[in-house]
Amino acid sequence: MSSNGSAAWRVYLSGEIHSDWRERIADGVREAGLAVELLAPVTDHSASDDVGVDILGPESDSFWKDHKGAGVNAVRTQTLLRSADVVVVRFGDKYRQWNAAFEAGYAAALGKPLVTLHDPELTHALKEVDRAALATAETPEQVVEILTYAVAGPGVPR
Amino acid sequence: MSSNGSAAWRVYLSGEIHSDWRERIADGVREAGLAVELLAPVTDHSASDDVGVDILGPESDSFWKDHKGAGVNAVRTQTLLRSADVVVVRFGDKYRQWNAAFEAGYAAALGKPLVTLHDPELTHALKEVDRAALATAETPEQVVEILTYAVAGPGVPR
Amino acid sequence: MSSNGSAAWRVYLSGEIHSDWRERIADGVREAGLAVELLAPVTDHSASDDVGVDILGPESDSFWKDHKGAGVNAVRTQTLLRSADVVVVRFGDKYRQWNAAFEAGYAAALGKPLVTLHDPELTHALKEVDRAALATAETPEQVVEILTYAVAGPGVPR
Amino acid sequence: MSSNGSAAWRVYLSGEIHSDWRERIADGVREAGLAVELLAPVTDHSASDDVGVDILGPESDSFWKDHKGAGVNAVRTQTLLRSADVVVVRFGDKYRQWNAAFEAGYAAALGKPLVTLHDPELTHALKEVDRAALATAETPEQVVEILTYAVAGPGVPR
Amino acid sequence: MSSNGSAAWRVYLSGEIHSDWRERIADGVREAGLAVELLAPVTDHSASDDVGVDILGPESDSFWKDHKGAGVNAVRTQTLLRSADVVVVRFGDKYRQWNAAFEAGYAAALGKPLVTLHDPELTHALKEVDRAALATAETPEQVVEILTYAVAGPGVPR
Amino acid sequence: MSSNGSAAWRVYLSGEIHSDWRERIADGVREAGLAVELLAPVTDHSASDDVGVDILGPESDSFWKDHKGAGVNAVRTQTLLRSADVVVVRFGDKYRQWNAAFEAGYAAALGKPLVTLHDPELTHALKEVDRAALATAETPEQVVEILTYAVAGPGVPR
Amino acid sequence: MSSNGSAAWRVYLSGEIHSDWRERIADGVREAGLAVELLAPVTDHSASDDVGVDILGPESDSFWKDHKGAGVNAVRTQTLLRSADVVVVRFGDKYRQWNAAFEAGYAAALGKPLVTLHDPELTHALKEVDRAALATAETPEQVVEILTYAVAGPGVPR
Amino acid sequence: MSSNGSAAWRVYLSGEIHSDWRERIADGVREAGLAVELLAPVTDHSASDDVGVDILGPESDSFWKDHKGAGVNAVRTQTLLRSADVVVVRFGDKYRQWNAAFEAGYAAALGKPLVTLHDPELTHALKEVDRAALATAETPEQVVEILTYAVAGPGVPR
């Protein structure tokens, strides 16, 4: 017997916004028929960058423009992150993605199960983040397999 | 992909009870079709003031009348505040509204994402409260835009 | 506008099991049409006293009989107490009801809104418990009024 | 009156995977018609042992093979354990089952009501774990009786 | 090797104020040379009853007199209880001592190790409180022995 | 016997900075010989207002000047508030002092014992804050008496 | 620059009581001159087994004898475990040592840094416990090296 | 009056290890005579990288070498971070420093006051981390000024 509860698992997908990794996980989750709700930050880069000044008025100093934007985005990300059952954090090879590492640290302190996703060449740079994770995957498909195992158990053919 | 979860967000609207800001936010949320539940304290001023003695018996000393009333109101407000995902706090230009600032502090200590709403002339007086907020809006419509972005993402036309 | 959320409030009714106060609250809640789920310990006195030895085997020493019984009851009461939004604690004039005071302290430490219910002649003996409560009622009907105000607001005729 | 809430109770069944105790509890819960969701780790021993390397790639060192597997399993078990209302931990006479004791300690620190299940000959070895439990049962049927009492009350014939 | 740390243990002695049990524990702790700081509520009954009105002004209604007094006492008791490592709660045969049971519940919810102290004839009435305790003693001298064992280990002759 | 522990109590004095209430409490504490450490925000008004831009550079927009200043002050106030055993909050008749109410709410959510201090004419406006407090004083000398009772007990002549 | 703070680190040594591993760690810590306080359960096996009945009176049923003893020991172990900065858990090849695994789980849930210590042949049986640890050592000397690095940094020759 | 408590503040300096920023803060703190204890990770890069395999044995796979090393370093960093009153995080222009952002997120979730330190050209990349901070400095000397203000108040000449 292997029971996982009837409520959908809430899985927050943090990090990189310039590749299709979230879509690949969403496709895999759908194909596996998993009771999983995928949560994500806003991934439209320019909308995300400009949302603060778009809604709350322009800033001449870019520090404050960023500050406003980061605040509005955090209304979403903090709410989703705090409500998540599992947190997956993706690091790509572009940009510094300090936000991804920040959210990984935030999730770790809250005791959320953490899965990291990145290419092997980032291993050394990410060693502290990976150390806090329960699994480190290299492909979105591996994340889908982890979620399938966690949510549905090994009875589901992979 | 941008996913916000299927459960409605619980947004607690704290503060001023003598203007129509809650209705304007409710209208905006309804028009935007957001999955948001708006929560609020009792906003009928005299009912709120008298509820303690109305239910639990009269008091000759106004301190204890207020004490009783504040207690009964807190059964509602503490329950809603603790269950909220996001807390919006409105400060108007009338009355001292220490209760609004108290609830902002309470929410901040619980780690709830906080949005403040007030006219620019209150900026200096509210600097510590605004510092703890993720966004400071001047109009209810800006709050609706923030909730729209947070809950539904930028794909929804504003 | 006055909004209380769509989910039913969970209200745990702790304390006295030898009078009909829970039924009177249940009647009042039903009549008022409140979205309230009432939770309670097992109130069948002898079933509650004997459940430990009934299920887990007899004890010759009454201390351990009580210990077993209190454990099995606590599986229920701790789960319900921890899941409650509001806790009402009733003290009657019979028995020592230390369990009621224990649950009041437990609820207070968890930050749950607390309402006490007892006759005025117990005021001095209960002063520390009442101090931790947001309201002290003398009748079950007053508790219903408090719940009506908290859950449905003053728009509902009382 | 005796009310237990309308939401199903989430009961996590931790420990031994080489006997049919979970099935016997599931049968009993079904027969009693309890509003209980049973949660469990993956109980397919070899799937559980191999899941880390199956998904994330082979390891030559068995320590790291185990480490990977334990991580993927923990994505499931930590999520279920943290979401559970009640935790039942079964100790059998085979294997060391340190994981069961680890999960009992984890649950105890989170304040979850804990029930242990084992044969009397393990009493001395398990005294610290039993001390942290609210009840110690010898048979799965006793666990069903405890859940019946906790969830449905004594009105339900056992 | 048996090490207990160099800092003195803070032990809060809650409950009955009309017998010499605290002095007997203090004597025993001193004789055993334990690194223990004993903490206590104010045990001067009339000072404790009157402190609210003595400091903050008279009340005509005894409910509010008690309310004020209980508040001032709680400044002390909550601070000490929250800072304690271990909590001992004494129940005597006089008075209802709901405050003792309230503090036991408060301490239990905070995860503090709890020891109860009372005569055997109170066993049935205190079963839920005793269930939450790690030990139930009948004499202050037994409490001293428990503290001696816990703080200094068995190497210290008792 | 009445024991309060050997460590000095940390008492944070929040609120009004334009009267001598902190000095009067400090004088009283010193005269009573209490083991109390008084903690406070920076009370030099212009230093406090300007510290953000003084240290981190000028701002043309007063909102951001205030934001910077409030941040630097919060490094101090959050640290002290979180480390305090007891929090006293003073409201005067000048300025809006929303920061005082914010800190009261923050302290309440952390479970810190709270004492308010204000003139009776502010009672109605402060009813929610006073409701969360264990005592409401009108003079700094009353606060000293409360601290004396809490820290040293009634044996110390007042 | 490498600073570790002036306060001694509190390191709780949980687990096996039938070998000299605690002494070897104590020797190593002393030789390295580390600012470390070592904490431990009572390691006198028969004193530990009998302490419950020795202090609180005899039991005819061995379950309750063990229950009493485990309670008194837990007064010590829970207090030390909760106060520890770092927890080291040792598993030997004798006895089942479920208590060690229980304490590891308890420490993990509290977020304490965890180090495990055991022979390589126990690796498979301990994989879930090791997964929750920050390091797995095979010898007490390795634990000393880890503590030396953590407390004093690499500047101290090993 | 302006009081900051007698205990030294514990300030954890997270992040970049390839410049002298910690020394400059240490110099400033010493010159200002502040009651501040500076805490830091091990900043010897190669010692930090190799500590896992140095103590616990070699690894052929660099992922596991890093994993071991990150674990041993985390024994230190998690302990210090959790014990800190204030956390300062430095981002330099070299390396990815995901660990710094991870620790910032961890500290933020624990509610620690956070100060970031970096050059203005990193502003956009660090906007989410800066949003969670109470102050963003560009030089170590500004951090010293913030600490001086927070710890000693404006009376100390800067």
C-beta of residue G109 within 8 angstroms of C-beta of residue E111: no
- The number of C-beta contacts closer than 8 angstroms across D and H is 6
CA geometry: angle at H77 spanning H73 and H79, to 5°? 120
Q: Are B150 and B54 in contact (CB under 8 A)?
A: no
Q: What does the alpha-carbon distance between residue E148 and residue G76 come to, in Å, rounded to a whole number?
A: 10
How much is the average pLDDT of G113-122?
Answer: 97
8 Å CB contact between G117 and G137: yes
> What is the spatial distance between Cα D25 and Cα D146, in angstroms, rounded to a whole number?
11
**Contact residues on chain B for F128, CB-CB shorter than 8 A:** 70, 73-74, 98-99, 102
Is E131's CB within 8 Å of D134's CB?
A: yes
Q: Do H56 and G135 touch (CB under 8 A)?
A: yes
- Check contact E-G (3+ Cβ pairs < 8 Å): yes
pLDDT band per the 50, 70, 90 thresholds, residue G93? confident
The pLDDT assigned to A4 comes to: 64
Give the residue from F75, F87, F112 with the most H CB atoms within 10 Å of its CB, the best one to mutate: F75
Q: Does C8 touch chain B (CB under 8 A)?
A: no
What angle (nearest 5°) sits at the alpha carbon of residue H152, between those of residues H149 and H153?
50
Subunits with 3+ C-beta pairs closer than 8 A to H? A, B, D, F, G
* Residue pair F113/F134 in contact by the 8 Å Cβ criterion: yes
Contact yes or no for F102 and B105 at CB 8 A: yes
- pLDDT at C121 > cutoff 50: yes
Paired strand residues for B15: B90
Are H91 and H64 in contact by the 8 Å Cβ rule? The answer is: no
Q: Does residue F120 belong to the interface with chain C, where contact is any CB pair within 8 Å?
A: no
**Taking Cα atoms as reference points, which of C139, H156, E142 lies closest to residue F47?**
H156
Euclidean distance between CA atoms D23 and D143, whole angstroms: 12
The answer, yes or no, to whether residue D157 has pLDDT greater than 60, is no
Task: Kindly report, residue by residue over E56-83, the tens digit of the pLDDT.
Answer: 999 999 999 999 999 999 999 999 999 9
Listed residue (G129, D103, G112) closest to H74, CA to CA: G112
* Of residues G70, G110, G125, nearest to D98 (C-beta): G125
Min CA distance, B52 vs chain F (Å)? Answer: 12
Residue that has been written with the tokens 């929040």 in this structure: F14
Size of interface E-G (CB pairs under 8 A): 83
* Strand G86-90 to C9-15 pairing: unpaired
Give alpha helix (H) positions in E33-139. Answer: 45-56, 62-83, 98-109, 127-132
Question: Does the beta-carbon distance from C131 to F134 stay under 8 Å?
Answer: yes
Count helices and strands (H / E) in chain H: 6, 5
Query: For residue D77, what pLDDT is reported?
Result: 97
Question: Which chain G residue has the Cα nearest residue H44?
Answer: G154
Q: How many CB pairs under 8 A join F and H?
A: 84
SS3 state of residue B50: helix
C147: its two tokens: 């719940």
* Burial (0-12, 13-18, 19+ Cβ within 10 Å), A82: middle
Q: What is the mean pLDDT of residues H17-31?
A: 96
Rounded CA separation F67/E11 (Å): 44
CA distance H9 to H83: 10
Tens of pLDDT, residue by residue over F102-139, are 999 999 999 999 999 999 999 999 999 999 999 999 99
Residue E57 near chain B (CB below 8 Å): no
Q: Are G55 and E142 in contact (CB under 8 A)?
A: yes
Instruction: Give residue B123's Cα distance to chain centre.
Output: 18
Which of E38, E56, E79 is closest, CB to CB, to F150? Answer: E79
Question: Does F contact C via 3+ CB–CB distances below 8 Å?
Answer: yes
Q: How far is B65 from chain E (nearest CA, A)?
A: 11
F100, F14 Cβ separation under 8 angstroms:
yes
Give the three-state DSSP class for C87. Answer: strand
Half-sphere exposure in the Cβ direction for F120 (13 Å, CA): 6
Average pLDDT rounded to a whole number, residues D71-82:
97
Residue type, H155: G
Alpha carbon distance H5, G14 (integer Å): 35
- % of chain C with per-residue pLDDT over 90: 89
Sheet with strand D114-117: strands edge to edge: D36-39, D9-15, D86-90, D114-117, D135-137
Query: What are the φ and ψ backbone dihedral angles of E38, each rounded to 5 degrees?
Result: -90, 130
Mean pLDDT for all residues in chain A: 94
Sheet strand arrangement including H86-90: H36-39, H9-15, H86-90, H114-117, H135-137
Q: How far apart, in whole angstroms, are the C-alpha atoms of residue A150 and residue F143?
A: 56
CB D73 within 8 A of CB D44: no
Q: Do chains B and D touch (3 or more CB pairs under 8 A)?
A: no
In sequence order, what are the beta bridge partners of F87? F12, F114
Model pLDDT for residues B29-83, shown as the tens digit of each residue: 999 999 999 999 999 999 999 999 999 999 999 999 999 999 999 999 999 999 9
Give the residue from A27, A76, A86 with the most B CB atoms within 10 Å of its CB, the best one to mutate.
Answer: A76
Its pTM surpasses 0.90? yes
Of the pLDDT bands very low, low, confident and very high (cuts 50, 70, 90), residue H155 is low
Chain D CB within 8 Å of residue C141 CB: no
CB G64 to CB C60 under 8 A?
no
| Residue E3 pLDDT grade (very low, low, confident, very high; cuts 50, 70, 90) | low
Compare G31 and C5 and report the one with higher pLDDT. Answer: G31
F48 vs F50: CA distance, rounded Å: 6
Partners of F131 on chain C (C-beta within 8 Å) are: 134
pLDDT of residue H3: 65
Crossing angle for the helix pair H140-152 and F45-56, to the nearest 10 degrees: 170
Q: Which two tokens stand for residue G54?
A: 């020795």
Among residues F88, F125, F132, F90, which one has the least CA distance to residue F108?
A: F132
Please give the average per-residue pLDDT across H16-39, as a whole number.
Answer: 96
> Which residues, in sequence order, are CB contacts of F94 under 8 Å at separation 6+?
F16, F18
Find the angle CA(B2)-CA(A127)-CA(A16) to the nearest 5 degrees: 20
- Which helix (H) or strand (E) covers residue G32, if one does? helix G21-32
B53, B60, B62, B64, best to mutate vs chain E, most E CBs in 10 Å: B64
Nearest CB to F39; choose among H4, H113, H137: H4
Pairing of strands G114-117, C86-90: unpaired
- Which positions ≥6 away from A27 have C-beta within 8 Å? none
pLDDT in tens, E74-124: 999 999 999 999 999 999 988 789 999 999 999 999 999 999 999 999 999
Q: Which helix (H) or strand (E) holds D54?
A: helix D45-56
> d(Cα E107, Cα E77) in Å, to the nearest integer?
11
What is the pLDDT of chain E when averaged over all its residues? 94
Q: Does D149 touch chain C (CB under 8 A)?
A: yes
Query: A64, A66, A67, A68: which to substitute to probe chain F, counting the most F Cβ within 10 Å?
Result: A64
Task: Read off the DSSP letter of residue B111.
Answer: T
- Is G76–E149 a contact, with Cβ atoms under 8 angstroms apart? yes
